[in-house]
Amino acid sequence: MVKQRTVAKEISTTGIGLHSGTKVQVTFRPAPADTGIIYTRTDLNPPVIMKCDADSVRDTQLCTALVNAEGVRISTVEHLTAALSAFGIDNLFVDVNAPELPVLDGSSQPFIYLFESVGTVELDAPKRFFRVLRKVRVEDKEKWAELNPCDDGFKLDLTIDFNHPAMEKELQHFSFDFSGRGFASELSRARTFCFMRDVEYMHAHNLALGGSLENAVVLDDYRVVNPDGLRYPNEFVKHKMLDAVGDLYMEGHSILGAFSAYKTGHTLNNRLLHALLSDSKNYEVVTLSSREQENAGIDFIGSNVMHFAKA
Ligand SMILES: [Zn+2]
C-alpha cells in the first residue's frame, strides 16, 4: 500500500518575502495522518490556522495565496506546494510569521533541498489520489486547461505563447511524465519570470518590494537581464508547469490523469481543480497498492522506512 507521508522532523528556513521585502521565517513540522497541509500565521495573536485546499486559493497579481473567510492571507504558497507533491507529503504543519512565505530563489528547488535534507517518513494510513474519470475542461478566451483520464500516472503537457526574442517558439512547449525525481531534476529549478515593464509598474505601486534578480528571471524587450542567464533553455514553460503542479496539489492529493493546457496560469489551474471536484462523476478518490504504484510509474522522492509515531 502506498502510504501518506510527512517530514521526518522539524526544519526551518528564512528568506525575503516577495511582497514586503522583509525577512520571513517558515517552520515545517511533522503532522499525523489525515491532517492535510495546515498553515499557521504565528505573527497574529491569537495565531490563525488555515487548511490548504482548493477553496482557500486566491490568485493574486503575483502569486497564489490562501485566504480564509476572515480575509487572513498567506501568499506565495505555490512553489512549496509543488515541492510537497514531489515528495508525496500530504500531511504537514507550516508555521509562518508573516502574510507570505519566503520567495527564496523563485523556484521550488530550495524546498526540495530542505525536505531532502530532513527526510520524510511514511504514516500508517493509505495515500489518497484523485483519479480522473472523464474529461474536465476550463477556458478563458484563447487560454484553456484540461484533465483527461489516462492509464498510468500523472502526465503534463503545456504550451505558452510569448512573442519575445528571448523565447523561441520550440522552447514554449513541454511534456512531462510526473515523478518526484523527475520533478526535482527537470522542473524544480525553473524560476518565476517577469518583464521589466511589470517590475517598473510594481515598484511604482509599492508591490513586490522583495522582487529582485535573486528570485526571478527578468526580461527586457530583447533579452534575459539576469547576468547568469537561464537555468534551462525552456525555463519559462517549465516554470508554468511547476506552477500547475503546485496549483493542482492544493488539496494535498496527487492526480492520476493527463493535464494539458495552453497559456494557463494560477487562476485557470485553480478553476480546473474546482471543476474536477465539482462533480463526483469526474473523479474518484483511490488508494494504490505498491504494485499499482509501480505499474503507474509513480514515484516520490525517497522516504525512510521508520514510521512516524502517533502523537
Ligand atoms: Zn510560480
Using the mean position of ligand 1's atoms as its centre, give its distance from the Cα of residue 283 in Å: 26
- The reply to whether 243 sits in an annotated binding site is yes
Specify whether the CB–CB gap between 298 and 127 falls below 8 A.
no
Torsion (CA) 120, 122, 126, 132 in degrees, nearest 10? 20
Assess whether pLDDT exceeds 90 at residue 209.
Answer: no
In order of their start, the domains of the chain are 3-307 (3.30.1700.10)
Q: pLDDT (tens digit, 9 = 90+) per residue, 137-187?
A: 999 999 999 999 998 899 999 999 999 998 988 899 999 999 999 999 999
Using the mean position of ligand 1's atoms as its centre, give its distance from the Cα of residue 214 in Å: 14
Catalytic residues: 266
Distance separating alpha carbons of residues 252 and 181, to the nearest angstrom: 18
What b-and-e string marks burial along 251-277, b requiring 16 or more CB atoms within 10 Å of the CB? bbbbbbbbbbbbbbbbbbbbbbbebbb
Give me the pLDDT at residue 58, please.
81
Give me the pLDDT at residue 206, please.
84
Using the mean position of ligand 1's atoms as its centre, give its distance from the Cα of residue 153 in Å: 23
Q: pLDDT (tens digit, 9 = 90+) per residue, 97-144?
A: 999 999 999 999 999 999 999 999 999 999 999 999 999 999 999 999
- The reply to whether 164 sits in an annotated binding site is no
